[in-house]
Structure 1
Amino acid sequence: MGRAGGNIAAAPIELAIERIRAVYRSWNRDTSVAQMRSDWDTAFGGCTAPVTCERVSAGGVDGEWISPSDAREDKAILYFHGGGFRIGSVSSHRDLIAQIALATSCRVLAINYRLAPEHRFPAALDDAIAAYGWMLDCGLKSANVAFAGDSAGGNLVLAAMLALRERRLPLPVSAVLMSPWTDLAATGASYVSRAEADPIHQRPMILALARNYLGAQGDPYDPLASPLYADLGGLPPLLIQVGDRETVLDDSVMFTDMARAAGIDVTLEVWDGMIHVFQMFGAELPEAHRAIASIAGFLNRHLHIKAERGPS
């Protein structure tokens, strides 16, 4: 595939960007939410990874176990997909989730939490907590469960842990956040400094998604809606990955600063030249593979999967 003149191959990141833009270009003001969701699942669905997929009801929440052949029964990851709380599903994220499952040799429970505007905050959060409770009821120990999520799903990872802490319930052993949306008020300087570099997400769009999720009277500074404004003490170790081209970059940078000030063990990886949730684009981006390898290393250290298996 070439650029003008046909002699210069398109950079891998441009191929990923074009996949996203192709979907956005097909939408207009008359496009229904149902059509947007269907289009997103069609564009990003599919999975060729060697995993098994089993539909389950996780505490009343539609979910799916995505498992590599060598996964153990006593370890698991709970995954929350992104999509601005408006679109996205297990289907649209199945390949990314499968790649994480393969890299960690760990099964993953991914859930289809309720989406807005039909189900506004805190419906998605309630579903996240219900699914985790179901995992524990099935016999999994909190020390053998990690959370992971991207974008709005990264928000849910944090909000769920904060809600669990408030209820004095056991937290997962660690959590991975990819381009997490931590500030629904969109106050970060990167909304300006990265406006030209980010090919997809601009502040008005982010604020519209926040209103869609919270409703007209919702508070974007509610700590369970915007974890950036929470007391973060007591959270488990975190790995945060974010692209340098994202307007949402400061959602990760500011959150990392707040978490470290609260004494939390946080690893922040800022990936040069990368876009929002670039990990989804393994077919185009070698950086996606390296990022997932880093995620696997982090999760394996905390879930002790490789160490307990011994040398291969």
Structure 2
Amino acid sequence: MSNEMKIAILGGGITGLTAAYCLVKKNYQVTIFEKEKVLGGLAVGFKSNDWNWYLERAYHHLFANDYDILNFAKEIGFDKIFFRSPQTASLFNDKTILPLDTPFDLLKFPYLNIIDKLRAGIMITFLKLSPFLSIYEKQTSKKFLKKTMGKNVWNILWQQLFRGKYGDYAEIILASFIWARIKKRTKALGYVEGGFQTFINFIEEQLKSLKVEMLKGYEVGEIKKQGDKFIINNTLYDVVISTLPTPILIKVFQQILPKNYLQKLSKIEYLHALTLILETDKPILNKTYWLNISTSKIPIMGIVQHTNFIDKKNYGNKHISYLGWYLKRENKLMKMKKEELIKFVEPHLRILNS
């Protein structure tokens, strides 16, 4: 029996697609609006002519405890997710790459004394086992880590990671971030056979069979109200669900949301993700999948050597790497063309390979 309630979902990423599936299974009439010509959002993939698998525009993997998406995949009958345990590491002092995956790695770490190692190990274990505590929202990560692990551990292990990830905001990030980061991480990482785009395509086919309307290449400029309903594309909807980034949400809902709420949203400051994808004959990193850059001398936040996780045979036997940054809009890197960005990073990549 069909439910007469009509629901609009703004954004066709995995969150929007999942919401559509759950709602249509409850017999609601669902329409997805996606401004791009393909669904998938940040997980969308592309494929070169000699590749067998899709590659995500921004690096993606799953953790073994990502139960929501794993259970959703199981529910819709998608069985192409697999897990591996690639090496992750950090770069120190320009060119020293050290794994920090296990307690044994921490014990071997040469830049901390035994007391620092014990304090760091005990607190990492505590955070891994700890439920969320209110104290994590009452102090910054810097203050919390210096207090619990010591100043030396903060300076060597954490400080540059926070600066690389958050820039000018590094010292005001709450301790809830570091709790969530450590709590969530698992050694085993998941990926999708064929790339995440195959998962997105599978979901899209499921939604088609369930009669979900998917309007791709349609950007919603503004939503208006008519009584207790919402007008989009000259159609009335009872409910609107937004998965849009907050700055875009503010523009779209300008005529609907209370001004004081819009003002609160507008005060949220954002960093922009910049990703450079490299296809090379030789790997940038020999064994490491994920490399955190823990030195200010190399102006890259991190390097993800995708083909140290997924076999290069799926990408024409080429090595695939992601270089990533989180930046303010006005940062010079945000204005560079890809050729300029490659020229900028090339000398630093040569150091890693020397």
Scaled by the length of structure 1, the TM-score of the pair is: 0.24
Q: Whose strand proportion is higher, 1 or 2?
A: 2
Report the structure number with the largest CA radius of gyration: 2
Scaled by the length of structure 2, the TM-score of the pair is: 0.22
